[in-house]
A and B are shown apart, each in its own frame.
Chain A
Amino acid sequence: MKSFEWVDAKSVEQAAALLAATSAREPVVAKAGGMDLLDLMKEGIVQPSRVVNLKSIRSLDDIQLDRSGMQLGALVTLARIERDAGLRSHYRALAEAAGHAATPQVRNAATIGGNLLQRPRCWYFRNEHFHQVAKADHSEHQHHAIFDNQQTVMVHASTLATPLLAYDASVHLTLGHGSSRTVLLKDFLLPPAMERDRDTLIADGEILTDVRVPAIQANTRCAYHKQTERDSYDWPICDVAVVLQMNGAVVANAKIVLGWVAPTPRRAVDAEEILVGREIDEQSAIEAAAAAVQAATPLAKNAYKVDVLRAVVKRTILAAR
């Protein structure tokens, strides 16, 4: 790892100003929990000349929950999202996703802002060889995308994004000095790319200050499942979030989001349509799951993910019942 300068930011404005000064020669990067950044720096994929520590900024770690919805400060840790009782009672799929991310140690340090901004876990992307020596052909793509995989086969790594998309979340970005914007998460996330230095719409000098989630309607049921090979600690084969707005026993509105199977988490619109107007039972769940994987275009080594995803969609729908 190369030497770098460390700055404890005192305010969002100061951090934004420091980050705006980034250049190709002297990159300036932001650090929240530091979980992803440290990995990238150790591997030589990110070689900052200056690291701006956001953890020293107060007021970025509030959880505000009221009738209009929820606002999560960017520095709220995954461990708090997992445990916050109010959050869990309204947004269970998000709490579940946080509770199944990484390891307890990582969850204590990792933040929601960093989680959304993290780079792909693709083993080509994570190897400096494919940034400096050779181009990646992604021929070992067993963990990669089974949908929309013509441009890139890499998948976005955030598992919190999966339920957040199902909840129609957006992110709030600021450049400091009153200049800010709110972007829907579905627009914010970009298909990962080896050559870019980010996989989101965030601009140089912009700080992600909070994540905003609309209020949940009455009679909403939700579930989340992350399917891994191992229980202890593992990256997903796929993860699925289901948010159902019920009218009695019948589904009035459904949101089904599939993570780790496409470059960015993917809405399973066909599956949602099958559920609307029906009761949730084994049959409707099986039909919706089949619809969810219908557009899959698996690669030579990842067809198994289609089967796994179908099973997980079915099970997650039934779990939301």
Chain B
Amino acid sequence: MSNTGSFEQRSLQAGIVGETMTPVTRKMPGTDPPAWPTNAELHVVGKDVPRMDALDKVTGRARYTFDVQLPGMLYARAINSTVPHARIKSIDTSLVERYPGVRAVHVLERLTMAAQLRDPGAEANEPYPVIRFTGQPIAAVAAISARAAEAAAQLIRIEYEPLPHVTELDQAMQTNAPAVFPGPTEQASSAGGGGAPRGLPQKGNLRGPSKSGSHGDIGRGFRDADVVVEGEYRTQVQTHTPLEAHGIVADWRDDELTLYASTQHVFSVREEAAEIFELPQEKIRVISDYTGGGFGAKYGVGNYGTLAIHLSRKAGAPVRLVLDRREEHVSVGNRPSSLQRLKIGAKRDGTLTAIELHSFGSGGVAAGAGVGSCHHNMYPCPNVSIEHYDVFTNAGPCAAFRGPGQTQGIFAFEQAIDAVAARLQMDPVALRNKIDTRDADDVRARAAERRIGAEKFGWSRRSAPGSDSGPIKRGMGMAQSMWPYIVNGYTTCEVRISGDGAVDAFCGTQDIGTGTRTVFAQVVAEELGLQPEAIDVHVGDTRFPPGPPSGGSRVTSSLTPAARNAAYAAARDIANRVAPLLSAKGEELVFRGGRIEKRDDPAVSLGFAEALRRAGVESLVHRADRRDDYEGYAHKAGDLHISPHAIGGVQFAEVSVDTETGVVKVERVLAVHDCGRPINPKLVESQILGGVIQGVSYALYEDRRLDAATGVQLNANIDQYKMVGSRETPQIEVHVIELLGRQSSTDARGVAEPANVATAAAIANAFFNATGKRIYTLPMTPANVLAALRSEQP
């Protein structure tokens, strides 16, 4: 949304509360409310307000997609490929259609999420989408019961013409490997990010190189170096595994479509459905009351949603399609694997002279398996050379996943920086103090976070690498996070106030479990002098004003300024109407403690509802947009508006390594983070706890395993796909700083992704400190750990 109207210069205090605050001047729209003071001086914002939907969730009242029950609703079951690579010669659905209780069958015409051929002619004559991974959705059936749908699905007859396949990155990179695609491909990005640069060369399964971020003269950089460290790092495929699988209820009637979806963005669901079904957007309504986790894979309608909509249209009835756990693992997204050859040169004082990265990643049949941007934009370095290749394999498509790319990249990069410190015999914290020097908020935040963290963690007690005797060795490590501060290109909030004092707040954005409803209510309540419970918040509906996707850590940064500005406009409107009743001017009135009172004479006041009644207000409606950040953006990519200031974060970990069994335990983690102004510290802490837990899980356990011969995921469940459990969850301490960047009317930024980015690297650096050996391969299973301990390499 472009800024219109008059602007004015305002002088403000910016910086880290309790650290350094400095005067700044910001040019901002004249309609923006005055800057908020620090959280300590606010009433509702910055407080640990309990999650507003907590009771509904723990009592089961909250309606998730799986709970949607419509009259005459049918149950759908998908039919997925049993082979990894094949042409489909024929599909016979006649037995499925004749099965008792079946109302509709649909065969998918086009596969989304996967890369698309640059020249579609190569497969133009295929009667059905070519199968490129085991588990690829092919068709679906809708029936009067889930049992009937499942039984009917077994009766489909598919004639495959098998093609050679390859599932492992190393094999797929070989020149004689079976080609997953017959020609070069493109991968568009989704609302959740991802996608791949356009027009890159592709040879066989190797798409690239992408050299984005390269600059300077790498040869000179290494000639200038006093020390060079080199390593080959590998990370595994991680699947999203949200508690709630993907699901949708499609209700197509009278050429209008209503979709109940488990999604991270109701508007992306509407957009994709409109495109696929050639419907005007206003004919489609998407509702998401509750979403049981997303992590980046829940955007758009996807292949399963498309099938459900087709079935609803054919059957003339609502259709529910919820994925089973296997489908959730296999075919709706994952964090791609990576192979990163990383070489760093530095001066004796730590100054970086060269960073060279050759990386490969496989997102299965999807491109976009990059390893983030940390190599070229975290620490200043004059010579950076990056070559990244996506490698196609016959495996399910990748999707954005909590800190996409950056989590893999930081695992290698922050270990390499740790290795530079070890080589220079410098303290890893001191080395970061030396090299983390850009002029940006995240840099200033990390400086404070390192200092606070080192002290709280007891970093000074860290001993030399491998100094424990006995088979169980302990160590401490730290790693830094960097994630862009993103503002969504459009966000509008509406505040409606009724004459009886009821306040309703609307935005189409959804709450995927992060607490969006609660922070929305807090911001509106703060402006109106009310308690958050007094605000009836409405989210998750495309009929409401447009709101951001729950991805890219951008909801709070995008939503809260629009919410505050709408509430502020409503408050000023009310003040002007109420002023005559109090023999005051509108600008003299403030909203505090449920009352409207004269700023200098609080005795002159009226209760909020009483004031509205006496002023004769029937209803007021105010809308406001998220205006651009006061200092603008470094760049814009579609609806991603990216600030020159990033989000920081520093994590410290202590591990124990059993060098005889290879079992690693993360004993404790200290996570020190910034997210601009923490609107609700409790919810911020909860996000960070989740990020650390997911990071420990990634570091130690999670690993999608495919059978090479069949392409079948062997651990497509939550028994053998190992995730961190309660007893492996370390003691986690969270510390959040209050950073007032003065870029918007709330100063809020995100934290979901930063909380996940540094964990694996911090654990790996602690592993090195414990054992004197580096762990180059994730996850840190006994097999990988024992191999690392036996390795000749330090």
Contacts and interface: CB of A to CB of B under 8 A. Distances in A.
A302 B714 CA distance: 16
Contacts of A235: 720
A221 to B, nearest CB: 22
Given A134-B710, A139-B707, A231 B728 contact: yes
A307 B147 CA distance: 47
Given A139-B708, A229-B722, A311 B781 contact: no
B782 A230 contact: no
Given A231-B728, A232-B727, A307 B714 contact: no
Interface stretch (A14-22, A123-131, A200-208): A123-131
A301 B724 CA distance: 23
Nearest to B658: A311
Contacts of A301: 783
Query: Which 4 A-B pairs give the minimum distances between C-beta atoms?
Result: A232-B725, A311-B660, A231-B727, A123-B714
B660 A140 contact: no
Contact of B720 (A123, A232, A304, A310): A123
Nearest to A139: B708
Contact of A312 (B661, B715, B722): B661
A124 to B, nearest CB: 7
5 contacts: A134-B710, A140-B705, A230-B701, A304-B786, A307-B786
B705 A308 contact: no
Contact of B782 (A130, A231, A308): A308
B662 interface: yes
Contacts of B782: 229, 237, 304, 308
Interface string A158-182: 0000000000000000000000000
Contacts of A134: 82, 709-710, 712
A230 B658 CA distance: 13
Interface in B676-732: 700-701, 705, 707-710, 712, 714-715, 720, 722, 724-728
Interface of B: 82, 147, 151, 471, 658, 660-663, 700-701, 705, 707-710, 712, 714-715, 720, 722, 724-728, 781-783, 786-787
A238 to B, nearest CB: 10
Nearest to B82: A133
A133 B783 CA distance: 30
Nearest to B147: A3
Contacts of A312: 661
Given A232-B726, A308-B660, A311-B471, 5 more contacts: A3-B147, A230-B727, A231-B725, A233-B725, A237-B782
Contact of A307 (B660, B722, B728): B660
Contacts of A124: 707, 714
A227 interface: yes
A247 interface: no
A230 B725 contact: yes
A234 B709 contact: no
B786 A127 contact: no
A180 to B, nearest CB: 36
B710 A129 contact: yes
A126 B714 CA distance: 9
Most central of A130, A234, A312 by chain B CB within 10 Å: A234
A227 B714 contact: no
Contacts of A140: 705, 707-708, 714
Interface string A222-259: 00000101111111010000000000000000000000
B393 to A, nearest CB: 15
Contacts of B725: 230-233
Contacts of A126: 720
Contacts of A123: 705, 714-715, 720
Most central of B661, B705, B722 by chain A CB within 10 Å: B661
Contact of A137 (B700, B709, B720, B722): B709
A11 interface: no
B661 A311 contact: yes
Given A229-B722, A232-B728, A301-B783, A308 B715 contact: no
A48 to B, nearest CB: 16
B727 A308 contact: no
Nearest to A311: B660
A227 B661 contact: yes
Contacts of A284: none
A229 B787 contact: no
Interface in A274-321: 301-302, 304, 307-308, 310-312
A142 interface: yes
Contacts of A137: 707, 709
A230 B720 contact: no
B712 A129 contact: yes
Contacts of A227: 661, 663
A302 B786 CA distance: 11
A130 B707 CA distance: 11
A137 B705 CA distance: 14
A208 B229 CA distance: 62
B86 to A, nearest CB: 13
A132 B662 CA distance: 36
Contacts of A230: 701, 722, 724-725, 727-728
Most central of A137, A140, A302 by chain B CB within 10 Å: A140
Nearest to B659: A311
Contacts of B709: 134, 137, 139
A224 to B, nearest CB: 16
Nearest to A143: B720
Interface string A102-117: 0000000000000000
Contacts of B710: 129-130, 133-134
Contacts of B724: 230
Most central of B709, B714, B722 by chain A CB within 10 Å: B714
A157 to B, nearest CB: 12
Nearest to B787: A304
Nearest to B703: A142
A100 B63 CA distance: 37
Contacts of B700: 229
A310 B715 CA distance: 27
A229 B705 contact: no
A142 B783 contact: yes
Nearest to A136: B707
Contacts of B726: 232
Most central of A129, A139, A231, A312 by chain B CB within 10 Å: A129
B41 to A, nearest CB: 44
B667 to A, nearest CB: 13
A4 B724 CA distance: 36
A24 B579 CA distance: 86
A128 to B, nearest CB: 10
Nearest to A129: B712
Nearest to A301: B783
A307 B569 CA distance: 69
A229 B299 CA distance: 34
B781 A229 contact: yes
Interface in A192-228: 227
Given A123-B714, A129-B710, A307 B727 contact: no
A137 B708 CA distance: 9
A297 B787 CA distance: 18
Contacts of B658: 311
Nearest to B717: A126
B154 to A, nearest CB: 9
Contacts of B662: 304, 307-308
Nearest to A142: B783
Given A304-B662, A304-B786, A304-B787, A127 B722 contact: no
A20 to B, nearest CB: 29
B327 to A, nearest CB: 14
Contacts of B660: 307-308, 310-311
Most central of A233, A235, A304 by chain B CB within 10 Å: A304
A179 B130 CA distance: 59
Contacts of A121: 720
A304 B783 contact: yes
A129 B783 contact: no
Contacts of B661: 227, 237, 307-308, 311-312
